[in-house]
Amino acid sequence: MTREPLAAGEPVLEDTLAAVESQLGALGSALRARDADAIDRHAAELHRAMASAVEHFSRAARSGAVPPALRHRLARASGQVAAQRESLARATAALDRAIDVLLPRENLAVYAASGSAERSNTSGVLRA
């Protein structure tokens, strides 16, 4: 299979996209391992790699030099980022619900030993 000659900026685009893909893989592994330190480290590295890729791809797009194969890989990487973000959002929501069950907020109505809701004097209820 013969390959078309590389465009002037294609090696840079390939390298920056490979860095994004590598960090996505590393972050995914850290998430599966539930390794908080690795998650922080790889998330920061992914952020840097993505910023670099956006800069290089934006510059290349202005000159019309983004090969379709790299454009497709970039779209796939973007989808992976969105999937990881959604997964983290769901995990965060589940953790928030568990914390709410274990440590209810103080401003919520709490039932007293007698079964009635305890209310402060500022609840708007007049007592005779």
Residue 2 pLDDT exceeds 60: no
* Amino acid residing at 34: R
Sign of the CA dihedral with 53 first, then 51, 24, and 29 last:
positive
Burial grade of 49 (CB within 10 A; 0-12, 13-18, 19 or more): buried
Q: Please give the model's pTM, rounded to 2 decimal places.
A: 0.67
What are the angstrom distances between the C-alpha of 88 and each of 8, 22, 43, 74, 124? 38, 19, 12, 21, 40
Q: Indicate the residue type of 118.
A: E
Mean pLDDT of the chain: 81
What's the pLDDT band for 47 if we cut at 50, 70, 90?
Answer: very high
Each residue's pLDDT tens digit, 77-99? 999 999 989 988 888 898 899 99
Distances (CA, A) of 82 to 4, 24, 85, 110, 117: 32, 11, 5, 39, 43
Mean pLDDT for the stretch of residues 4-31: 83
Amino acid present at 115: G
Any bridge partners for residue 111, and if so which? 117
More confident call, 62 vs 107:
62
